[in-house]
Amino acid sequence: MGNLSVRNLEAWYGAQKALLGITAEIPEKQVTAIIGPSGCGKSTFIRCLNRMHDTLPGAKVSGDILLDGKSIYDQHPVFLRKTVGMVFQKPNPFPSMSIYENVVAGLRLNGERRKAKLRAAAEKSLRMAALWDEVHDRLNYSGVSLSGGQQQRLCIARALAVEPSVLLMDEPASALDPIATQRIEELVTALKKTYTIVIVTHNMQQAARIADFTAFFLNGELVEFGPTSEIFTKPKDKRTEDYITGRFG
């Protein structure tokens, strides 16, 4: 569960084309990193995977994306997003909600009202996000009372609570300090047992540390996609080599 197959995906912002026909197989229960210089289309790409791109006025896509063999365009985006969760660059807990309410927000949207179920799901998700020990005695505090790193793990817990099969992360650690970043990286590695993870990062060391597969994007094109070790040790494309050796970007 959670295998993504991207077929000739193109994406536009109005008249500007941001993705020029991407084809890739993202394997299930692995970490796939998306790397590339700023503005190359990394965010656009993963925002297509849960159809968040479609919500922007003037935005357009063509091509197809299959999730476990079924086109994501054949189901309503509201249902798709329950299967394909997302974590954003800047932590964005709901400030009007407590820690607990943040975690169960998605379940409540699904109509779950039973207290016991919600409690259990909240604890499970917070444990998976490695946040439970830090917050279990103050679940009724505001989500924004936490530190930046904790807020980001709260957002991960919030995404996990609806039990998706794919988790998309758009530079989830770029706003965090090194220690918080390390915790997120450990978390990603632990979560891949259960989830397919697609993570955007502009930090190549991070990709090398946590990703099983790496995709290198440049100017809206997927230049190279393969096992992380191969991308970093023997890239096939000259442009990949230039990028990872720091000759541009």
Ligand X SMILES: Nc1ncnc2c1ncn2[C@@H]1O[C@H](COP(=O)(O)OP(=O)(O)O)[C@@H](O)[C@H]1O
Residues that bind ligand X (CB under 6 A): 13, 16, 18, 36, 38-44, 56
* Cα(143)–Cα(151) distance, integer angstroms: 7
> Considering the rule CB under 8 A, would residue 92 count as an interface residue with another protein?
yes
Q: Which residues contact 169 (CB under 8 A, 6 or more apart)?
A: 46, 86, 87, 188, 197, 198, 199, 200
Residue 79 contact partner, candidates another protein, Mg ion, ligand X, none, CB within 5 to 8 A by sort of partner:
another protein
The correct pick among 4, 6, 26, 43 for binding Mg ion (CB under 5 A) is: 43
Residue 111 contact partner, candidates another protein, ligand X, Mg ion, none, CB within 5 to 8 A by sort of partner:
none
Residue 171 C-beta-side C-alpha neighbours within 13 Å: 18
Residue 18 contact partner, candidates ligand X, another protein, Mg ion, none, CB within 5 to 8 A by sort of partner:
ligand X
Q: What residue has token string 């790397």?
A: 35
* Nearest CB to another protein, comparing residues 141 and 233: 141
Shortest spacing between CB 188 and another protein, in angstroms: 17
Residue facing Mg ion at closest CB distance: 43
Residue 155 contact partner, candidates another protein, ligand X, Mg ion, none, CB within 5 to 8 A by sort of partner:
another protein
* Cα(227)–Cα(117) distance, integer angstroms: 39
Residue type, 170: D
